[in-house]
Amino acid sequence: MAAATPAPAHSRQFLSGNEAVARAAWDAGVRVAAAYPGTPSTEILEVLARYPDLYTEWSVNEKVSLEVALGASMVGARALCAMKHVGLNVAADALMTLTVTGVEGGLVIVVADDVGMSSSQNEQDSRYWGRFAHVPVLEPADSQEAYTLTRAAFALSEQFQTAVIVRLTTRVCHVKGLVTPGERETHAPTGFDKNPARWVMVPGHAKPRLPLMFEREAALRAAAEVSEFNVLDAGSDMRVGFVTAGPAGMHVLDAFPDAPVLRLGFSCPVPIERIRALAATVGRLVVVEETEPLLETELRAAGIACHGKDILTRLGELSPDILKPAVSRLLAGEAPELPASPPAQTVFPRPPTLCVACPHLGVYYTLSQLRNVLISGDIGCYTLGAGHPWNALDTCISMGASMGMALGMDKGRGAQDANKKIVAVIGDSTFMHMGMQGLLDITWNRGNVTVLLLDNRTVGMTGGQDNPGSGRDIHGNEAPRVDFAQLCEALGVRRERIRKVDPYELPTLFKALREETKIDEPSVIITDRPCVLIGDYKPTPAYRVIDDACTGCGNCLDVGCPAIHVTRRGQQSKPSGKVVDLAFVRIDTAACTGCGLCVQPCAPEAIVHAQRVQPLSFIRQNGSAT
Could you tell me what percent of the chain has a pLDDT over 70?
Answer: 96
Q: What is the per-residue pLDDT across 128-148, written as a single tens digit (0 to 9) for each?
A: 999 999 999 999 999 999 999
- The answer to the question of whether 553 is labelled as a binding residue is yes
Please state, in angstroms and as integers, the Cα–Cα distance from residue 467 to each residue in 79, 429, 474, following that order. Answer: 21, 7, 8
State the pLDDT at residue 623.
54
| 556 annotated as ligand-binding | yes
The whole-number pLDDT of residue 2 equals 60
Segment 474-530, tens digit of pLDDT: 999 999 999 999 999 999 999 999 999 999 999 999 999 999 999 999 999 999 999
Please list, in sequence order, all residues whose beta carbon lies within 8 angstroms of the beta carbon of residue 218, skipping any fewer than 6 positions away. none
- Which tens digits make up the pLDDT trace of 91-119? 999 999 999 999 999 999 999 999 888 88
User: Rounded distance, CA 161 to CA 215, Å?
Assistant: 12
Q: How far apart are CA 22 and CA 31, in angstroms?
A: 12
The average pLDDT across 560-588 equals 90
Q: Cβ distance 521 to 497 under 8 Å? A: yes
Q: pLDDT (tens digit, 9 = 90+) per residue, 383-408?
A: 999 999 999 999 999 999 999 999 99
Helix (H, G, I), strand (E, B) or coil at 263: strand
- Strand 607-609 with 543-545, pairing: antiparallel
Please report the domains of the chain, with CATH numbers, ordered by start residue: 13-225 (3.40.50.970), 232-331 (3.40.50.920), 359-528 (3.40.50.970), 543-622 (3.30.70)
Question: Distances from the Cα of 47 to the Cαs of 4, 6, 21, 179, 432, in angstroms?
Answer: 9, 10, 9, 15, 24
Percent of the chain with pLDDT over 90: 84
Q: Is 355 labelled a binding residue? A: no
pLDDT per residue as tens digits for the range 187-206:
999 999 999 999 999 999 99
pLDDT at residue 626 in the model: 42
602 labeled part of a ligand binding site: yes
**550 belongs to an annotated ligand binding site:** yes
Cβ atoms of residues 575 and 531 within 8 Å: no
φ/ψ of residue 163, rounded to 5 = -65, 150
Crossing angle (nearest 10°) for helices 85-101 and 62-74: 30
358 marked ligand binding residue: no
Q: What's the CA gap between 42 and 40, in Å, rounded?
A: 6
Q: Is the pLDDT of residue 299 over 60?
A: yes
Which pLDDT belongs to residue 612?
54
